[in-house]
Structure 1
Amino acid sequence: MPVKRTYAHLGDACRAANALDLVGDRWALIVVRELILGPKRFVDLHEAARGITPAVLSDRLRSLQQAGIVEQVTLTDLARTRAYVATEWGRGLETVLAALGQWYFAGPAPDTHGGMTPDATILAMRAMAPPAPTDLPPTALHLYDARRPDPPLRQYHLTAVDQVLKIRAGAAQEPAVTVTTESTVWSEVLFGGLPLADAERDGALRVDGDRHTIERVVGLYAASA
């Protein structure tokens, strides 16, 4: 196997170039994207990074671990399952992903095709988080990826902190409303102009609780766009 020649080896001292030595390979940032909000098993990563082969995923995880961007952890389930998660330094790549998304959106052809994983949708929400009124009640989001067989439901919660929406992984504490939907559908509601009522009518989205709260959340994103 030929030795990989990095920008550093070629004498380029630019820090951006040296960063690309660590995360510039195809799939590297996609793998990190799926680990920023919490740990995932190998099988979950394989299904989230659409099109990646097991061999390539293993290679990217190994490289990212060696670089200190990803680490292996043991889950607290009975099987003591091995999983992967972004390190504190690795989580700093969230701002890089946000900047890349905003840069692409400002380009000549910002439309995209395909679907969004739950974590990718939440990271997009965090990147585009608008100012929020302090009286906005807590909201629970339950998202799944319909492209996966028997997709798991991933839980997130929204709160207003210092007039900014904070979106985090995990169950909400006494939410005023819970939205259960497919992650790409939720992305279309927030960023693609899909009316909330249309998604509900099609059976792709369910609102339990204070409907006005989720209408406010959707309205905040529409106004910021």
Structure 2
Amino acid sequence: MPIRQTYGGLGDACRAANALDLVGDRWTLIVVRELLLGPKRFADLQESVRGITPAVLTDRLRALQQAGIVDRVVLPDLARTRAYLVTDWGLGLEPVLAALGRWFSAGPSPDTAGGMTPDAVVVAMRTMAPPSPAGVPRIVLRLHDARRADPPVQHFHTVAHDGVVLVAAGAVADPVATVTVDSSTWSGVVFGGLGLIPAVEVTGDRDAVASLVSLYAAAT
């Protein structure tokens, strides 16, 4: 196997170049994206990172662990499930992904095709966080990826933070509304102007959900 050359090994002291030695390989930042909002099992990552093979995923996770960006953890469930989670340092890659998303959006061909995982659409919502000076009601998002067979449902919720809408992982008690929808459809609602189509199941205050969607529509 050939020795992998790195920018650092070639004498390039640029810190951006040395960062690319850690996260510049294909799939690496996508693996990180899928772990920013909470831990995932290997099988879940393989389903979420479209097109990656088990061998490549194993390689990327090993490299991320060696770099201190990802840790292997044991979940507090009865099965003591092994999973992967980004470290505190690894969390610093979220604004990097956000900057890449904003950069692409400002380009000559910002339209994309395909779907979005629950984590991907929530990271995008955090990237495009609209102002909310009056606060934001607590809305729970129950998102799943309909492209998967028997997809798990992931829970997120809206909160106000520093005058903008923030979407965080997990559910909250007594939300004003709960939204249940495929994550790709929700991306179209929030960013594509679909509106609250029938595929979006809303329990509770539908007007509050419509107001949330309108905040993103005004900001994009």
Fold agreement, TM-score > 0.5: yes
Q: Which moved more, 1:134-143 or 1:210-219?
A: 134-143
CA pair 63-54 structure 1, distance change in 2 beyond 3 A: same
Partner residue, 2:38:
38
Give 1:135 shift. 4.4
After superposition, residues 1-225 of structure 1 pair within 5 angstroms as 1-196=1-196, 199-200=197-198, 204-225=199-220
Task: Report the identity percentage.
Answer: 64
Q: Secondary structure at the match of 2:35?
A: coil
1:52-75, Cα deviation, whole Å (9 max, x unpaired): 000000000000000000000001
Cα RMSD (Å)? 0.9
Q: Gaps (5+ residues) in structure 2?
A: none
The CA distance in 2 between the partners of 1:140 and 1:173, in whole Å, is 9
Contact persistence 2:195–2:213 (CA under 8 A): no
TM-score (norm 2): 0.98
Contact persistence 1:134–1:162 (CA under 8 A): no
The CA distance in 2 between the partners of 1:89 and 1:206, in whole Å, is 37
Contact persistence 1:177–1:209 (CA under 8 A): yes
The CA distance in 2 between the partners of 1:168 and 1:136, in whole Å, is 13
Q: Structure 1: which amino acid aligns with 2:179?
A: V
Count of aligned pairs between the two proteins: 220
The CA distance in 2 between the partners of 1:39 and 1:135, in whole Å, is 29
Give 1:133 shift. 3.6
Q: Structure 2: which amino acid aligns with 1:8?
A: G
Contact persistence 1:22–1:67 (CA under 8 A): yes
The CA distance in 1 between the partners of 2:117 and 2:13, in whole Å, is 35
Give 1:173 shift. 2.2
Give 1:77 shift. 1.1
1:104-156, Cα deviation, whole Å (9 max, x unpaired): 11111111011000000000000000111434321100000001100000000
Q: Secondary structure at the match of 1:131?
A: coil
The CA distance in 1 between the partners of 2:5 and 2:159, in whole Å, is 46
Runs of 4+ in 1 over 4 A off after TM superposition: none
Q: Gaps (5+ residues) in structure 1?
A: none
Q: Secondary structure at the match of 2:22?
A: helix
TM-score (norm 1): 0.96
Q: Structure 2: which amino acid aligns with 1:218?
A: V
